[in-house]
Amino acid sequence: MRAVVFYGVDEGFRIEDVEAPTVKRGDDILIKVKLAGLCGTDPAILEGRHPAAPPVILGHEYAGEVIEVGGDVKDIDVGDHVVIDPNIKCGKCYRCRTGKENLCENMTTLGIYIDGGFSRYNVAPRSAVYKIPSDMRWEDAVLVEPVSCAINGANRARINVGDTVAIIGAGPMGLIWTQLAKWRGAGLIIVSDLVEKRLEMAKKLGADVTVNPKEKDFVEEVKRLTDGRMADVCVEVVGNPRTVEQALAATGYGGRTVIFGTTKKGLKASFEPYQVMRYEKEIIGSFIANYTFSSAIAVMYKRIINSDLMITHKYSIEEFNKAVETHRSGEAIKIAIQP
């Protein structure tokens, strides 16, 4: 089968023929991949900004049809449609046993450390596999993984009806946050980005106001739009220390600042502790999904997140290099790979 195999930062990736995986363990499930999403993590791996374990088949956002199951699998059948939670937890460490599986001390990940979904077939353990309705569109199913991460963040942010929600970054995750905020009843949604095309998409997907920081100061705009109250929730989805600082500055009294974007390790942001203490601001970290996969399946089945607008480009595995170039150009919103 053809697959996208990452060999390390120096060697890069190759699109090549590899042996199709087979069911070897009792909890293995063999999946025919129908659609896989290109995540910002994938180019980050290629550029050395995110760790991986080469050689490895990339792709951690994918959905497909079950072809074969191991002898221990009793609740998933051949022909079932499924999505994959790529983050495989040990289930034994302190974090796993205290409701924080997303902080598992021994976690590994399909498509990063174990072969993933940029291939025709993939084997995943039963714990990573979620059954979806047979009439659920693949375009909706492929967004379940990123949506599950955003739902975890939105839960932690405690978005209430009528809240002002400000979002820094209108890439795929920022746009998912925009739609979740609207669905949860936010009274005012403000989205910031440097790319006009993404700001236009944000308006289509529920943003009330968009801000291009090249033209207007984001924090000052939030202040103006809220009569000085600032945002109840401000979400940083870029992964930059400066925008983290802006997010905290744009958060009002008693508000929540969510750090959702992935910054490079070692970088630091500055803030005034007095402001956090005196005005009871909360700084919230949010990492991947935490018991939110089932919720994400329900959200996508009801089409609360608009995959037709989100997925702007589709490429074959043979066109993977073009897919990465399109992603880097900023032309795409979300790219899907069709094995």
pLDDT digits (tens, 9 = 90+) for 237-253: 999 999 999 999 999 99
Name the CATH architecture for the domain at 148-285: 3-Layer(aba) Sandwich (3.40)
> Which tokens sit at 207?
């943003």
Q: Give ∠ CA 8-13-19 in degrees, rounded to 5.
A: 105
Q: pLDDT averaged over the chain?
A: 97
Is a pLDDT exceeding 90 seen at residue 291?
yes
Q: How far apart are CA 172 and CA 335, in angstroms?
A: 9
Q: What is the pLDDT of residue 12?
A: 95
Span(s) in the chain for CATH 3.40.50.720: 148-285
Beta bridge partners of 124: 29
Report, as an integer, the average pLDDT of 201-208. 98
Name which of 109, 130, 186 is nearest 301 in CA terms.
130
Residue recorded with tokens 């508000």: 255
Residue recorded with tokens 């600082």: 245
Is a pLDDT exceeding 90 seen at residue 54?
yes
Is a pLDDT exceeding 90 seen at residue 30?
yes
Structure confidence at residue 264 as a pLDDT band (50, 70, 90):
confident
Report, as an integer, the average pLDDT of 166-181. 98
| Beta pairing class for 56-57 and 108-109 | unpaired
Question: For residue 176, what is the DSSP state?
Answer: H
User: Strand, coil or helix: what is 177?
Assistant: helix
Is the distance from CB of 177 to CB of 238 less than 8 angstroms?
A: no
Residue type, 140: D
Q: Which residues of 116-128 are buried (b: 16+ CB within 10 A; e: fewer)?
A: bbbbbbbbbbbeb
Q: What is the pLDDT of residue 174?
A: 98
Rg from Cα positions in the chain: 20
* pLDDT tens per residue, range 98-131: 999 999 999 999 999 999 999 999 999 999 999 9
Report, as an integer, the average pLDDT of 268-296. 97
pTM over 0.95: yes
Report, as an integer, the average pLDDT of 52-67. 98
Q: What is the pLDDT of residue 334?
A: 98
Q: How far apart are CA 112 and CA 55, in angstroms?
A: 10
- According to CATH, the superfamily of the domain at 2-143+305-338 is Medium-chain alcohol dehydrogenases, catalytic domain (3.90.180.10)
Question: For residue 51, what is the DSSP state?
Answer: -
Span(s) in the chain for CATH 3.90.180.10: 2-143+305-338
- Residue 171 backbone dihedrals phi, psi, to 5 degrees: -75, -170
Is a pLDDT exceeding 90 seen at residue 87?
yes
DSSP-derived secondary structure for 208-242: SEEE-TTTS-HHHHHHHHTTT--EEEEEE-S--HH
